[in-house]
């Protein structure tokens, strides 16, 4: 058996077409501010991709680039100004080491926090209010929803416990009645845990780290990790896993495009919601 691929690229295109349709008749384009500090090549690439996709669907994306040695207060002041003018703000992470990601992200007003970066948004996730959940966990959940793969009653194992991926994703899966385990670099005998997963989600960033002997037959496997090796983009999941899993969200083409779609959908919703607090772009499930 070969796993069915969860085609994030196709689903993201469908979501973005809907967003485009929802904003085409607005009197002004929604405005997204993207803040980048320094010239980390991956951050340059990701911000360019987000800006291009935003412009394609009718969102005005403004890139604010600071040097890698910028003073933290200057970035915070810029974000505070942007809070008053744009519909959504995202800070491209990681930031250079001398900057506090927490303090900079927390300068974003919660209603502009379209990437779910602030402590307030994370607290909302804890309380099962996911208006501004972080985009990557939201992307994973939405991809599963779009393929009608419910988490209720499932054993979900997440490898990775970062504040913006593993931890909020675990809470979101818990709110969908999954039984959740979170593994990390100090977990002894990782395979013992991953082999019990009905749904295995890996967000580590080590190429082909999860091999087919580490998964349960017919598992749903979601690859979140992105790393570069030999000039190629690789995920955490070894390609052989496709022979054993029932469903696989691959890298590239799985969670990555969905993450951008979640960000841009949130920008459009922030704009529409500001104009009419009752409106929200309807997902397939709500229709
Ligand atoms: P991160 O903060 O570096 O977290 C990595 C996690 O992996 C940590 O919790 C770490 O454990 C765990 N880990 C490292 N080695 C391990 C091992 N040997 N066994 C088990 N766990 C191990 O990274 P992140 O920001 O969460 O991102 C994770 C990956 O997702 C990266 O590859 C990133 O590029 C990718 N990403 C993808 C998207 C997308 O749209 N697809 C978006 C954002 C990020 P400790 O906590 O113990 O150190």
**The pLDDT of residue 282 is above 80:** no
Torsion angle defined by CA atoms of residues 138, 143, 144 and 145, in that order, rounded to the nearest 10 degrees: 80
Nearest-angstrom CA–CA distance, 253 and 125: 26
Quote the tokens at residue 12. 């993201």
Do residues 48 and 145 both lie within one domain? no
Do residues 201 and 247 both lie within one domain? yes
pTM of the model: 0.96
Q: What percent of the chain has pLDDT over 70?
A: 97
**pLDDT tens-digit series, residues 95-124:** 999 999 999 999 999 999 999 999 999 999
**pLDDT tens-digit series, residues 130-156:** 778 999 999 999 999 999 999 999 999
| Active-site entry in 7, 18, 29, 50 | 50
Q: Is the CB of 183 under 6 A from ligand 1?
A: yes
User: Domain total for the chain?
Assistant: 2
Quote the tokens at residue 8. 């994030």
Atom of ligand 1 nearest to the CA of 223: 41
Residue that finishes a domain, picked among 64, 81, 113? 113
Running DSSP on this structure, what letter comes out for residue 20? H
Nearest Cα neighbor of 132 from 233, 283, 269 is: 269
Mean pLDDT over 16-36 rounds to: 96
Domain-located, residue 140: yes
Catalytic: 115?
Answer: yes
Do residues 189 and 93 both lie within one domain? no
Residue 60, beta-bridge partner list: 31
Cα–Cα–Cα angle for 97, 103, 105, rounded to 5 degrees: 95
Q: Is the CB of 261 under 6 A from ligand 1?
A: no
Cα–Cα–Cα angle for 115, 141, 46, rounded to 5 degrees: 40
> How does residue 48 score in pLDDT terms, banded at 50, 70 and 90?
very high
**The pLDDT of residue 275 is above 90:** no
**The pLDDT of residue 267 is above 80:** yes
| Active-site entry in 29, 92, 113, 154 | 92
**The pLDDT of residue 277 is above 80:** no
Q: Give the per-residue pLDDT at 274.
A: 79
Q: Is the CB of 155 under 6 A from ligand 1?
A: no
Domain range holding 90? 28-113
Domain-located, residue 187: yes
> Which strands make up the sheet holding 31-37, listed edge to edge?
60-66, 31-37, 88-91
Do residues 141 and 248 both lie within one domain? yes
Q: Give the per-residue pLDDT at 278.
A: 65
Q: Is the CB of 43 under 6 A from ligand 1?
A: no
Residue 198 and residue 154 in contact, taking contact as beta carbons nearer than 8 Å: yes
Average pLDDT, the chain: 95
Do residues 196 and 233 both lie within one domain? yes
Domain-located, residue 276: no
Do residues 139 and 88 both lie within one domain? no
Q: Give the per-residue pLDDT at 284.
A: 53
Domain-located, residue 282: no
Residue 226 and residue 205 in contact, taking contact as beta carbons nearer than 8 Å: yes
**pLDDT tens-digit series, residues 189-199:** 999 999 999 99
Quote the tokens at residue 226. 């992105």
Catalytic: 92?
Answer: yes
Catalytic: 111?
Answer: no
Quote the tokens at residue 34. 């993207």
Mean pLDDT over 173-182 rounds to: 98
Q: Give the per-residue pLDDT at 273.
A: 80
**The pLDDT of residue 281 is above 80:** no
**The pLDDT of residue 128 is above 60:** yes
Exposure string over 184-198, b if 16+ CB within 10 A, otherwise e: eeeeeebeebbbebb
CATH code at position 86:
3.40.50.10860
Domain-located, residue 268: no
Query: How far, in Å, from the CA of 162 to the mean position of ligand 1?
Result: 6
Answer with the residue of higher pLDDT: 286 or 207.
207
Domain-located, residue 178: yes
Do residues 87 and 153 both lie within one domain? no
Q: Give the per-residue pLDDT at 276.
A: 77
Burial of 91 (0-12, 13-18, 19+ CB in 10 A): buried
Torsion angle defined by CA atoms of residues 234, 172, 286 and 54, in that order, rounded to the nearest 10 degrees: -40
**The pLDDT of residue 286 is above 60:** no
Burial of 97 (0-12, 13-18, 19+ CB in 10 A): exposed
């Amino acid at each position: 058996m070969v796993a069915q691929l969860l085609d994030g690229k196709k689903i993201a295109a469908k979501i973005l077409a809907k967003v485009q349709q929802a904003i085409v008749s607005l009197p002004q384009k929604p405005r997204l501010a993207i803040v980048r500090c320094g010239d980390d090549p991956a951050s340059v690439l990701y911000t360019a991709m987000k800006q291009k996709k935003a412009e394609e669907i009718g969102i005005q994306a403004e890139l604010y680039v600071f040097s890698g040695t910028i003073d933290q207060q200057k970035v915070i002041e810029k974000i505070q100004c942007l809070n008053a003018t744009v519909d959504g703000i995202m800070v491209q992470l990681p930031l250079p080491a001398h900057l506090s990601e927490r303090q900079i992200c927390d300068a974003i007003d919660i209603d502009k926090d379209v990437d779910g970066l602030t402590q307030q948004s994370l607290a909302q996730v804890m309380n099962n209010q996911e208006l501004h959940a972080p985009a990557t966990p939201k992307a994973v959940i939405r991809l599963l929803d779009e393929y009608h793969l419910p988490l209720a009653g499932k054993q979900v194992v997440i490898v990775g416990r970062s504040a913006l991926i593993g931890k909020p994703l675990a809470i979101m899966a818990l709110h969908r009645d999954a039984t959740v385990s979170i593994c990390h670099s100090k977990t002894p005998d990782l395979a013992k845990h991953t082999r019990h997963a009905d749904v295995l989600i890996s967000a580590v960033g080590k190429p082909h780290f999860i091999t087919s002997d580490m998964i349960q037959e017919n598992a749903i496997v979601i690859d979140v990790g992105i790393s570069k090796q030999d000039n190629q983009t690789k995920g955490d999941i070894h390609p052989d896993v496709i022979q054993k899993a029932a469903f696989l969200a691959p890298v590239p083409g799985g969670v990555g495009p969905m993450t951008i779609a979640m960000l841009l959908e949130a920008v459009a919703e922030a704009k529409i919601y500001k104009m009419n607090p009752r409106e929200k772009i309807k997902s397939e499930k709500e229709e």
